[in-house]
Every structure is written in C-alpha cells, then in structure tokens.
C-alpha cells in the first residue's frame, strides 16, 4: 500500500493514477478521514497524558479521600479515551479499506491504457519465429504423441487443471530448473527452495488475498495457511517484519516452489493443456533493494529472463505492461511473451515487476542506514525465471520437427541426456 502521508500530500496525482489503472478508489474520502483521524489521535494522546499524570500522583496522595478522588478522575479520563478510541478504530478501518484498494504509483514511462491491448512491445528475443514446412501441432497433441503429458489421469486424481508429467517431460522439468539455477547462481542470486504453504498474513503482506469470492488461492481448512501461488510469497516473507542494514542490500534470491492457483473465473480462457493449470513448478527471482537500486534491478531481472529464453532458443517479445494491466503492487512490469505456434500467437511466460516500497510497507520490511536515525522501507522486485509449465508449452511447440519429434534445446541436453524426444508406442 501507499504511505498515508503520501496519499494526502499527493491526492491529485494518486487519484489520476487510480483512473489510469482503472481502479475506483475514494481518495477524497481518505483525505477527509485523515483529518478526522489526526484530531482523534491528538485528543487521545492528550487524555492519556493527563491520565498518566493522575496515576502517578496517586502514590503521593496525602490521604484516602484524595486518593479516591484521583482514582475517580483517572477512571473518567480512561473512559473518555475508550470512547474516542472506538471512533478512531472505525476511522482507521475505513481508511485501511480504501488504502488497500489504491494501487502503487506508475512509472512515468509505463504505457497508459486500460488493459493488455495497450501494452507496448519493447524488444524481441534473438530467436526468429519458426517456419514449419508442415502443419505444426499444439503442445497437447505433442504431449500425447510423445507420451509426455497425462491430463486425463491428472483430472481423475485431482480434478480438471491438474496433470501428470511423464517421461522426458519430467527430465525437461528437472533440466529447466537446473539450467535456471546455474544461470542465476553465476549472477549472485542465492538459491532457495521454499515452503509451498505460507501463513495468510504473509500472503496479505505480499498482496495476495487468501480468502473471499475472487481469490486465486487454495487455503487449508482449519488453519491460517494457504498453498502459495508463487515463490514470491515465501521469498517476500523472508524480510517480513524485519529491518536490515542498508549495506546488506541488494539481496537477490531465486526460489523454486510449486505454485497453486484456483484460476477462479478463468474457465474457458485458453484453458486447454498446460497453459493455465492449477499447479506448476516455478523458479522465481526476488530482490530486496535500496530505493535507488530498484530501477536498475528491474532491468537486471528482465535481462536474466531474456538470457534464459534466448538460450532456450524460444522466440519472444518483451512487453512493457500498461497501467490498466499492472495489478496493485507493481510500479512497472515487463512480461516476456513467448511465441506459441499452437495458438498462433504470443503467450506470457514470465513477468518481472518493480513493486518499489508498496509491498514492503505491507510486509513491514525495512532497512536502516548506519549512523542515521530511523528506518526506511526497502524496495521489492520479483520476476519469473522459468515457469515450467509454460516453458514446456513454448519448447514443445517451437522445437517440434517434421518427423513428429521435438528437439531438446542445446543448453538442456546435458541434463535431459538426449537431442530428440521421439514419438512413443501406445502405452509408454
């Protein structure tokens, strides 16, 4: 969320930004409430001060009569505090509700627009679009022919949206993970595997809504735990409620986790195959930085994503996300969209966001400069290194061959142990 003082002092800019982002948030009401809140705050502090003075004077009271009189005075004061406190709580609750709906400010270069139609292509990958001298298959059909994907069993076991990977698909998953980690380790990222569940508090801190009608999150009954939708959640939680020394920043992590998403309301929307599933494995980058480091860090994350997908020989474009499509926490966001011959178009495979201090404020993740008074909020960034399921779509569809096989990208061969994935006989 945004800082309340910032909202009040920049009400007009915040309001305009809400419009650009397509969010209806009552900024004016927030500002109005802030005045109300401050009045109450000052009243309460004054009453508390007087009550504290009274309390201290009781020990020194001359006699029982005076003591009783002072006690009564104290009771009165504390009673008044309780009344005003209740009003203040109500005001704060309303403010917090509004504050939660106000999105982060937007980078001045982010394209202004309602939705992904307004996204701006910034660059293209090194790999040219494939030209097939045959009718290319989509990944579902390839998965079938090569015995790599089993959606039917997945849905029998866990329901629609779940799947089994098998045979070389499993090797590809492991190879992709290994490849991503090797690349990122060389760049100073600290590798992590994370809990696949997290406290709802951590979900909320990172900006995810664990419950409610439009939630995308699976929650675990009778606990305050949810299945994570991305390693961004536990990695962001690493510094939740903590204050680190400024010198220790930036911190770069890459975490592998399973990701679980209910995809409520997404039925029918490109729902075939691996593109939109309830569970997948993902290697995610996450960074905590000083404020002036976050913009270069976003470029760094994007650069890593490009390097990974160039190495996988997958054609893609880099898109600068439009204000209306940024979501709540992002200040700026780049997506990599890979070419997917099966759909004859681009599909999102990664996403890198600079959340500035928006996420950190909710997480309460701070840094402190030695010798200076006070603390500041860190900046947080996250970016997909490789989301296995979507990477598999792109690999299978782009590297398919006329003979029905799929070429394994050069960089993965050491781990997959073969150059080609060949069609199987029935039952394999």
Partner RNA sequence: GGAUGGGUGGCCGAGUGGACUAAGGCGGCAGUCUUGAAAACUGCUGUACGCAUCGCGUACCGGGGGUUCGAAUCCCUCCCCAUCCGCCA
Active-site annotation holder among 106, 257, 294, 351: 351
Active-site annotation holder among 21, 302, 332, 390: 390
Binds RNA by CB under 7 A, chosen from 14, 54, 231, 306: 54
Residue of 331, 389, 37, 349 whose CA lies nearest to 207? 331
Binding flag, residue 55, RNA (CB under 7 A): yes
CB 130 within 8 A of CB 339: yes
Residue of 248, 232, 189 whose CA lies nearest to 369? 248
Phi, psi values for residue 35, rounded to 5°: -65, -45
Verify whether residue 390 is a known catalytic residue: yes
> H helices then E strands: how many in the chain?
13, 17
Binding flag, residue 48, RNA (CB under 7 A): yes
Verify whether residue 9 is a known catalytic residue: no
Verify whether residue 4 is a known catalytic residue: no
CB of 59 to RNA, least distance (A): 5
Binding flag, residue 222, RNA (CB under 7 A): no
Binding flag, residue 52, RNA (CB under 7 A): yes
CB of 345 to RNA, least distance (A): 43
CB of 31 to RNA, least distance (A): 13
- Tokens representing 150? 């089993």
Binding mask 72-111 for RNA (x = CB under 7 A): --xx--x---------------------------------
CA dihedral for 268, 277, 333, 173, sign (positive or negative): negative
CB atoms within 10 A of CB 161: 18
Site for RNA in 234-263 (CB under 7 A): 243
CA distance 335 to 116: 11
Radius of gyration of the chain (CA): 27
Checking 2-6 for CB contacts under 8 A at 24+ apart, the result is 2/99, 2/102, 2/104, 2/105, 2/358, 2/361, 3/357, 3/361, 4/30, 4/34, 4/95, 4/99
Closest CB to RNA among residues 58, 192: 58
Binding flag, residue 63, RNA (CB under 7 A): no
Site for RNA in 281-320 (CB under 7 A): none
Binding flag, residue 126, RNA (CB under 7 A): no
Binds RNA by CB under 7 A, chosen from 109, 373, 426, 427: 373
CB of 137 to RNA, least distance (A): 39
Active-site annotation holder among 348, 353, 361, 397: 348
Alpha helix (H) ranges present in 110-231?
Answer: 139-145, 151-158, 168-185, 200-206
DSSP 380-406: EEEEEEEEHHHHHHHHHHHSB-TTS-E
Verify whether residue 50 is a known catalytic residue: no
Among all residues, which ones are annotated catalytic? Answer: 261, 276, 348, 351, 390
**Footprint on this chain of RNA (rule: CB under 7 A):** 5, 38, 41-42, 44-46, 48-49, 51-56, 58-59, 70-71, 74-75, 78, 243, 368, 370-371, 373-375
């Amino acid at each position: 969320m945004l800082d309340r003082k910032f909202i009040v002092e920049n009400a007009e800019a915040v309001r305009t930004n809400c419009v650009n982002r397509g969010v209806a948030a009552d900024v004016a009401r927030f500002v109005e409430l802030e005045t109300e809140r401050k009045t109450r705050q000052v009243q309460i502090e004054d009453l508390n001060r007087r009550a504290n003075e009274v309390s201290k004077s009781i020990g020194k009271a001359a006699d029982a009569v005076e003591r009783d009189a002072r006690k009564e005075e104290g009771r009165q004061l504390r009673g008044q505090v309780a009344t005003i406190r209740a009003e203040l709580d109500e005001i704060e609750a309303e403010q917090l509700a509004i504050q939660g709906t106000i999105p982060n400010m937007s980078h001045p270069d982010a394209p202004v627009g309602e939705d992904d139609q307004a996204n701006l292509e910034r660059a293209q990958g090194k790999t040219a679009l494939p030209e097939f001298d045959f009718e290319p298959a989509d990944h579902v059909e390839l998965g079938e022919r090569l015995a790599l994907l089993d959606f039917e069993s997945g849905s029998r076991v866990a329901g629609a949206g779940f799947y089994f990977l098998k045979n070389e698909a499993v090797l590809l998953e492991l190879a992709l993970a290994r490849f991503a980690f090797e690349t990122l380790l060389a760049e100073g990222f600290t590798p992590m595997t994370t809990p696949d569940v997290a406290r709802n508090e951590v979900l909320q801190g990172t900006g995810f809504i664990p419950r409610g009608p439009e939630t995308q999150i699976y929650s675990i009954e009778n606990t305050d735990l949810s299945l994570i939708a991305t390693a961004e959640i536990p990695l962001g939680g690493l510094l939740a409620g903590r204050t680190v020394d400024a010198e220790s920043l930036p911190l770069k992590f890459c975490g592998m986790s399973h990701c679980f998403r209910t995809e409520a309301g997404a039925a029918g929307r490109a729902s075939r195959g691996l593109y939109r599933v309830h569970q997948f494995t993902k290697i995610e980058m996450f960074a905590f930085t000083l404020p002036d480091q976050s913009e270069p860090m976003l470029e760094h994350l994007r650069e890593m994503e490009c390097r990974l997908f160039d190495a996988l020989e997958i054609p893609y474009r880099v898109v600068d996300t439009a204000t209306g499509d940024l979501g709540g926490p992002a200040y700026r966001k780049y997506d990599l969209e890979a070419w997917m011959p099966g759909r004859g178009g681009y599909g999102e495979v990664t996403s890198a966001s600079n959340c500035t201090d928006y996420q950190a404020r909710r997480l309460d993740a701070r840094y402190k400069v030695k010798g200076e008074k006070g603390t500041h909020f860190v900046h947080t960034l996250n970016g997909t290194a490789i989301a296995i399921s979507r990477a598999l779509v792109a690999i299978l569809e782009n590297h398919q061959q006329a003979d029905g096989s799929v070429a394994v990208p050069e960089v993965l061969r050491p781990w997959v142990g073969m150059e080609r994935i060949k069609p199987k006989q029935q039952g394999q």
